[in-house]
């Protein structure tokens, strides 16, 4: 939407587009990500108001207020295709990733392959990814993202991310292809299908086993997932066959600041079968120790236990009551948050959530005071560190 157009013209154009797509629709920021600027619009009565609000948010967050409309899929799964293209006209896919488990429209748990796809659906999805890549003569590593309607099986294109994504590790461990190395060699002119690129021809690319990635962050589940900061007083990471760690900022003595993303480490588990992969992830998360700062480890454990993690259907997820419990804790299915899908995959209301709810009102007040005191101490510590750095620079 161009600024040169008048507000009334924009409203009329948006209304026309929405009617053409058919309500309900999803409003998104063209230059955005992470759920910023997203709005669900059920009818024309609120269209103009929501478009204006989304444009303001997009402008503040991304420096561009361009927005667009797409069809709202109420019961959706988020699935994406990894592609690689070279300068010699070759384009291949490395199969798909399931990124359905998200919180606040950001991915939390990813896996490959997507266990809810059959062979025909997988082939159709990957061919759609290649078709989009060929249409733009795509070069190097990228991800073509889709929503799958859980009722019809239909795929809907979302966007192309022209970069390596956080969740690329699950694709690497199931295909054996180093995507980071491949993009460098392709950029240097290597051809896919040759040893120089590190990427075989499409017919030789296979998946082996199942992989799952969890993002361990410094977000505090007991404090509305606000990122914690301060010094890590003790840290221990997991290890063992089938466990991969991608880290660098988490170690004993590390000072976590507010200036960067809350991601501490990515843990990827691999095994021949989905159940074993989940068991290895459980063991790895249990082995994590990060004293001194809050982390989302327990929430990841609960999300990992959801029925969808085992490939069970949506109706069974609802039967177990994961939907309402997931809403209460803030860990939701992507479609529930971004697309109002009623699937409920995260059993986030059990364990510590029930224990916390059972505490007395007085105990909760004491806990809140303790959290506030900890925050003040961290702020003082951060100020002291900044002051010390300033004196060192001056000397």
pLDDT tens string for the chain (395 positions)? 444 567 778 888 889 999 998 888 988 888 877 667 788 999 888 898 889 888 888 888 888 888 888 888 888 899 999 999 999 999 999 999 999 888 777 788 899 999 999 999 999 999 999 999 999 999 999 999 999 988 889 898 988 999 999 999 999 999 999 999 999 999 999 999 999 999 999 999 999 999 999 988 888 777 777 788 888 888 888 999 999 999 877 888 888 887 777 888 899 999 999 999 999 999 998 888 877 566 767 667 666 554 344 444 333 222 222 222 222 223 333 333 333 222 222 222 233 333 333 334 454 455 555 556 656 666 665 555 555 555 555 54
Quick one: DSSP state of residue 37? T
Q: What SS3 class is residue 89?
A: coil
Q: Which of 3, 107, 181, 266 is catalytic?
A: 107
Strand partners, 29: 67
Q: What are phi and psi of 348, to 5 degrees?
A: -95, 0
Same domain, 219 and 350: yes
The Cα–Cα gap between 103 and 221 comes to 11
Residue among 30, 75, 26 nearest 47 (CA): 26
Q: Cβ–Cβ contacts within 10 Å for residue 7, how many?
A: 10
Same domain, 232 and 316: yes
28 noted as active-site residue: no
Residue among 259, 258, 233, 237 nearest 248 (CA): 237
Find the domain containing 219 and state its range: 211-357
Residue among 137, 125, 140 nearest 95 (CA): 125
Q: Cβ–Cβ contacts within 10 Å for residue 241, how many?
A: 7
Q: What SS3 class is residue 247?
A: strand
Which of 183, 209, 235 is the last residue before a domain boundary?
A: 209
Same domain, 251 and 293: yes
CA 360 to chain centroid, in Å, comes to 35
Structural domains counted in the chain? 4
Same domain, 289 and 333: yes
Which of 53, 71, 89 is the last residue before a domain boundary?
A: 71
Same domain, 51 and 80: no
The Cα–Cα gap between 334 and 225 comes to 17
CB within 8 Å of 133: residues ≥ 6 apart: 83, 85, 91, 142, 144, 160
Question: Two tokens at 358?
Answer: 């059972």
Same domain, 175 and 241: no
1 occurs within a structural domain: no
């Amino acid at each position: 939407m161009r600024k040169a157009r008048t507000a009334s013209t924009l409203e009329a154009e948006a209304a026309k587009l929405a009617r053409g797509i058919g309500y309900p629709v999803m409003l998104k920021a063209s230059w955005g990500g992470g759920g910023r600027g997203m709005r669900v619009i059920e009818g024309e009565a609120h269209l103009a108001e929501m478009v204006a609000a989304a444009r303001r948010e997009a402008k503040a967050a991304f420096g561009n207020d361009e927005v667009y409309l797409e069809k709202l899929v109420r019961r959706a799964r988020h699935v994406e295709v990894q592609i690689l293209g070279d300068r010699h006209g070759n384009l291949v896919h490395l199969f798909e990733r399931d990124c359905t488990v998200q919180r606040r429209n950001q991915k939390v748990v990813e896996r490959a392959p997507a266990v809810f796809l059959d062979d025909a659906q997988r082939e159709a999805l990957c061919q759609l990814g290649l078709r989009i890549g060929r249409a733009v003569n795509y070069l190097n590593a990228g991800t073509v993202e889709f929503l799958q309607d859980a009722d019809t099986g239909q795929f809907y294109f979302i966007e192309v991310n022209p970069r390596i994504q956080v969740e690329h590790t699950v694709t690497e461990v199931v295909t054996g292809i180093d995507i980071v190395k491949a993009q460098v060699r392709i950029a240097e002119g290597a051809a896919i299908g040759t040893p120089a690129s590190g990427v075989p021809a499409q017919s030789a690319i296979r998946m082996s086993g199942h992989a799952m990635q969890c993002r361990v962050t410094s977000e505090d589940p007991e404090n509305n997932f606000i990122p914690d900061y301060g010094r890590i007083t003790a840290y221990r990471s997991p290890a063992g066959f089938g466990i991969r760690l991608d880290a660098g900022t988490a170690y004993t003595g590390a000072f976590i600041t507010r200036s960067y993303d809350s991601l501490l480490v990515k843990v990827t588990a691999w095994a021949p079968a989905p159940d074993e992969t989940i068991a290895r992830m459980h063991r790895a998360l249990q082995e994590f120790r990060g004293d001194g700062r809050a982390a989302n480890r327990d929430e990841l454990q609960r999300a990992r236990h959801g029925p969808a993690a085992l490939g069970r259907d949506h109706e069974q997820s609802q039967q177990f009551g994961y939907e309402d419990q997931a809403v209460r804790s803030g860990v939701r299915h992507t479609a529930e948050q971004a697309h109002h899908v009623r699937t409920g995959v995260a059993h986030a209301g059990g364990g510590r959530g029930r224990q916390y709810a059972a505490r007395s009102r007085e105990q909760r007040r004491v806990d809140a005071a303790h959290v506030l005191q900890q925050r003040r101490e961290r702020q003082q510590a951060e100020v002291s560190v900044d002051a010390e750095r300033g004196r060192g620079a001056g000397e």
